[in-house]
Amino acid sequence: MLPPKQSAASPDQRELMALYRRLDARGRASLLDYARFLASREASPEAPAAEVPAEPLGLARPAQETVIEAMRRLSRNYPMLEKDELLHRAAALMSSHVLQGRPASEVIDDLEALFAEAWERHAAACDPDAGGTECN
């Protein structure tokens, strides 16, 4: 029996493989971690509606944390935020670490600022005293 016919890789797949091949072992591991993180977001079924806290949970930043771990912590810390709105900017920051070698601590600082700014906008949109009328 013949193996199934392989389809040709798309331009995006070829570019991803070319980038992967240029990375050292640490970069490859980071890229795989990032891809797994993105895939887990896509594969996760929507959880039943649960009570969403109105305030951030206050999860502390550990002394040693990877960019992927920081992204997971911040997502848990700000459950009221619409993550899809943050994903593009967060992905750009994560890519600056994985593909350009930017230090993890700097990227995590920027991720924390990104989530804090999104929280401020969310809080203002939910505050009727400030004219806000939209809330998740």
Annotate 21-72 with three-state secondary structure: HHCCHHHHHHHHHHHHHHHHHHHCCCCCCCCCCCCCCCCCCCCCCCHHHHHH
Question: Exposed, middle or buried, 110 (CB in 10 Å: 0-12/13-18/19+)?
Answer: buried
Q: Is residue 123 part of a domain?
A: yes
Q: How much of the chain, in percent, has pLDDT values that exceed 70?
A: 77
Mean pLDDT, all residues of the chain: 80
Supply 106's token pair.
Answer: 């700097």
Q: Is residue 34 part of a domain?
A: no
Q: What is the pLDDT of residues 12-40, one digit of tens each?
A: 888 888 888 988 888 887 777 777 777 76
Q: Is residue 55 part of a domain?
A: no
Q: Is residue 67 part of a domain?
A: yes
Distance between CA 91 and CA 68 in Å, rounded?
Answer: 10
Q: Which DSSP category does 133 fall into?
A: -
Q: Is residue 10 part of a domain?
A: no
The number of folded domains in the chain is: 1
Residue 63 · residue 101 · CB < 8 Å: no
Q: Is residue 100 part of a domain?
A: yes
Q: How much of the chain, in percent, has pLDDT values that exceed 90?
A: 20
- Asked whether the predicted pLDDT for residue 65 surpasses 80, the reply is yes
Say how many C-beta atoms besides its own lie within 10 A of residue 2's C-beta: 4
Q: Is residue 52 part of a domain?
A: no
Supply the pLDDT for residue 61. Answer: 92
Distance between CA 36 and CA 68 in Å, rounded?
Answer: 10
- Domain carrying residue 87: 62-130
Q: Which DSSP category does 4 fall into?
A: P
- Asked whether the predicted pLDDT for residue 97 surpasses 70, the reply is yes
